[in-house]
């Protein structure tokens, strides 16, 4: 219809005759134009009909996208503000410090450990206190624009106007947790370990929450994760070790001790030779080369120097000990996908399996021929496209841990080979119904580390002393040496230069 309209406009004779008709001239329209004119008039009528219907249709579609949460009906902002003003009136000059900010957080109907984000978002870091006028102005704006916990928390922590959270945005919040949570009181005497613990928690947050691997946590990622629920549990749980997903001090202790064993020169970086000693050289050299190639790290400076930072190591150890989680499967898939085409080809599988065969022969164990191993792995994964294993295939099969260990972890590969196949199938069915492999590993390793330290103390001192974990670390790691700041650790999932960040000057 539109093509007919166009041809009508391009016909000079017809345009001339239509112009005469408009002036009221009396003449007979040639028959060759009558059909085209009627078609044109019908097309115009149809267009008018469509234009009349379209607005009505658009108005009938309800709004379905709420990036800052769905607004709540019948919320009385003025009533909430009056409760906050009443709390501020209890303090001299209506000014609140960080120590008393918990009362304000509860008046805002927020979890207790939102107190530091609330304090800093309203300018408390500049003067050491928050006035009622500053806070009310800030919180009123938050209530008007943010309609759920995820959008509020992101707004409080993020830089002004920034729609995502980066790693350093979590520092004030986590420093307050270290300073005020009862179960972390022993850390007050070891300020050096504040930065180590905070680094570990930040990496675990990004490991679990930042599913896009961008180094930038968005509101939707925060909303889909369990992080805010864990922040709320900090108030109810007296022991952070019960919060195993992010805040556990015992998990930090295990990770840091494992790193310290490899970091022989204690410069807080390890190289490929250091990494090769992990777990009695269980990880293949080819896989270690892939880890150090930068495929799962983002710090260009450290990658160029051929080193791995403590922050990188947190990702490695959690992924190594729990190959069933989605982040872990993505981690190892990136490492095995040598050409980066999103598919594990038969060539790439053979590349990693060759070293496994060499290790087995050195142990006087006859390796399974690659063709037979390949058939087993294809039966295990059951890829959608024959001969091409994708990330989706590995997540779907529920046995990715067996697949990965077969190609680059000799110790765990032999463990899987000796297990009953029926037990393996049962484990796949019960996935997600019990504690994770990482939690089990961390609990076992923590008990071993504490028992070893207790035995050493008893041997050296001649009597049994109550064991405080931080004392163990202090004695073994010499905390009296030069203090290292938090962001001397390289940041694996953010392109910022964190070495310039002055942790101690800002947060101690």
Among 81-95, 301-315, 481-495, which range has the highest average pLDDT? Answer: 81-95
Q: How many residues does the chain have?
A: 508
For residue 46, the model assigns a pLDDT of: 63
Give all strands (DSSP E) within 127-232, no chain letters: 130-131, 164-165, 217-218
Whether the CB-CB separation of 81 and 136 falls below 8 Å is answered with: yes
For residue 166, the model assigns a pLDDT of: 96
pLDDT in tens, 207-230: 999 999 999 999 999 999 999 999
pLDDT in tens, 435-470: 899 999 999 999 999 998 888 877 766 544 544 455
For residue 478, the model assigns a pLDDT of: 43
4 pLDDT above the threshold of 50: no
pLDDT in tens, 127-185: 899 999 999 999 999 999 998 999 999 999 999 989 999 999 999 999 999 999 999 99
Which residues are registered as beta bridge partners of 96? 130
Look up the pTM and report it: 0.78
For residue 382, the model assigns a pLDDT of: 95
Arithmetic mean of pLDDT, 7-12: 54
- Radius of gyration for the alpha carbons in the chain, expressed in angstroms and rounded: 32
Distance CA 278, CA 204 (A): 20
152: helix, coil or strand?
helix
Higher pLDDT, 55 or 93: 93
> Torsion angle, CA of 310/173/71/214, rounded to 10 degrees?
-20
């Amino acid at each position: 219809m539109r093509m007919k309209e166009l041809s009508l406009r391009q016909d000079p004779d017809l345009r001339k005759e239509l112009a005469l008709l408009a002036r009221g001239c009396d003449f007979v329209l040639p028959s060759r134009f009558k059909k085209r004119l009627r078609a044109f008039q019908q097309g115009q009528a149809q267009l008018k009909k469509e234009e009349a219907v379209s607005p009505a249709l658009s108005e009938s579609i309800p709004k379905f996208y709420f990036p800052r949460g769905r607004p709540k009906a019948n919320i009385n902002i003025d009533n909430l503000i009056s409760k906050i003003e009443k709390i501020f009136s209890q303090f001299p000059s209506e000014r609140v410090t960080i120590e008393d900010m918990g009362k304000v957080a509860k008046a805002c109907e927020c979890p207790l450990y939102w107190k530091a984000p609330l304090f800093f978002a309203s300018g408390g870091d500049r003067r050491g206190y928050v006035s009622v006028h500053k806070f009310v102005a800030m919180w009123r704006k938050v209530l008007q624009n943010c309609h759920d916990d995820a959008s509020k928390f992101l707004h409080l922590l993020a830089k002004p106007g920034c729609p995502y959270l980066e790693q350093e945005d979590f520092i004030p919040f986590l420093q307050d947790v270290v300073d005020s949570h009862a179960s972390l009181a022993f850390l007050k005497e070891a300020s050096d370990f504040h930065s180590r613990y905070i680094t570990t928690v930040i990496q675990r947050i990004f490991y679990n929450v930042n599913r896009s691997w961008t180094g930038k946590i968005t509101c939707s990622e925060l909303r889909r994760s369990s992080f805010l629920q864990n922040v709320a549990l900090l108030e109810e749980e007296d022991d952070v070790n019960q919060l195993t997903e992010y805040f556990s001090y015992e998990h930090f202790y295990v990770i840091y001790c494992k790193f310290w064993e490899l970091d022989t020169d204690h410069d807080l970086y390890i190289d490929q030779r250091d990494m090769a000693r992990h777990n009695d050289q269980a990880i293949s050299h080819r896989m270690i080369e892939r880890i150090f190639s930068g495929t799962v790290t983002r710090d260009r400076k450290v990658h160029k120097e051929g080193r791995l930072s403590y922050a990188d190591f947190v990702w490695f150890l959690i992924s190594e000990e729990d190959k069933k989680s989605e982040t872990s499967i993505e981690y190892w898939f990136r490492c095995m996908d040598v050409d980066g085409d999103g598919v594990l080809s038969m060539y790439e599988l053979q590349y990693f399996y060759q070293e496994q065969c060499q290790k087995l022969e050195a142990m006087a164990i006859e390796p399974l021929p690659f063709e037979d191993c390949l058939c087993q792995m294809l039966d295990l994964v059951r890829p959608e496209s024959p001969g091409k294993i994708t990330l989706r295939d590995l997540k779907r099969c529920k046995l990715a841990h067996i697949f990965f260990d077969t190609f680059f972890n000799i110790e765990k590969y032999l463990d899987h080979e000796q297990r009953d196949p029926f037990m393996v199938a049962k484990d796949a069915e019960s996935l997600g119904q019990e504690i994770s492999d990482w939690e089990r590993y961390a609990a076992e390793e923590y008990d071993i580390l504490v028992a070893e330290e207790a035995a050493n103390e008893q041997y050296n001192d001649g009597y049994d002393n109550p064991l405080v974990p931080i004392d163990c670390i202090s004695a073994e790691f010499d905390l009296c040496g030069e203090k290292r700041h938090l962001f001397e650790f390289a940041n694996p999932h953010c392109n910022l230069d964190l070495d310039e960040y002055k942790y101690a000057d800002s947060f101690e």
